[in-house]
Structure 1
C-alpha cells in the first residue's frame, strides 16, 4: 500500500504539468506556469481556418447547381 501511495504521488507530480501543457497546446516539457499565449490571436487564427473550410465546403456543395444553370 505504501508503494501505491508513493507511485500515485509521483504520478500526480509528473502528470499535472504535462496535462497543463497539453491543454494549452504548447510543448509538453515547457514551463507550465509561463506567460499565457494570446488567446485572442488563437481564436482569430482558428476562426479564419474554419471560415476557409466552410467556404470551400459550400462551394463544393453548390458546384453542381451552378454548372446546371450555366448551360
Structure 2
C-alpha cells in the first residue's frame, strides 16, 4: 500500500505540469509557470487570420459576379 501511495504522489507531481502545458497548447516539456504570451499579441494574430479568411470568403463568393461583368 505504501508503494501505491508513493507512485500516486510521484504520478501527480509529473502529470500536473504536463496537464498545464497541454491545456495551454504549448510544448509539454516547457516551463508550465512561464509568463503567457501577451494577450494583445494573441488577439492581433487571431484577428489577422480571421480577416484573411474573411477576405478569401468574400473573394470566392463574388467571383461569379465579377466573371459575368467581365464578359
Give the TM-score band, short-chain normalised: 0.7 to 0.9
> Aligned in 2, Cα 1:70/1:29: closer, same or farther, shift over 3 Å?
same
Is 1:49 matched up with 2:49? yes
Measured after TM superposition, the shift of residue 58 of structure 1 is 1.1
Tell me the TM-score normalised to structure 1 length.
Answer: 0.74
Q: How many residues align?
A: 71
1:12 matched residue in structure 2:
12
Measured after TM superposition, the shift of residue 14 of structure 1 is 2.5
CA distances 1:22-71 after superposition (whole Å, capped 9, x unpaired)? 22232110111112211210111011011101101110111011111222
Tell me the TM-score normalised to structure 2 length.
Answer: 0.74
Structure 2, unpaired ranges of 5+: none
Structure 1, unpaired ranges of 5+: none
Distance 1:4 1:61 in 2: 61
The 3-state SS of whatever aligns with 1:40 is: helix
Distance 2:6 2:62 in 1: 61
2:26 matched residue in structure 1:
26
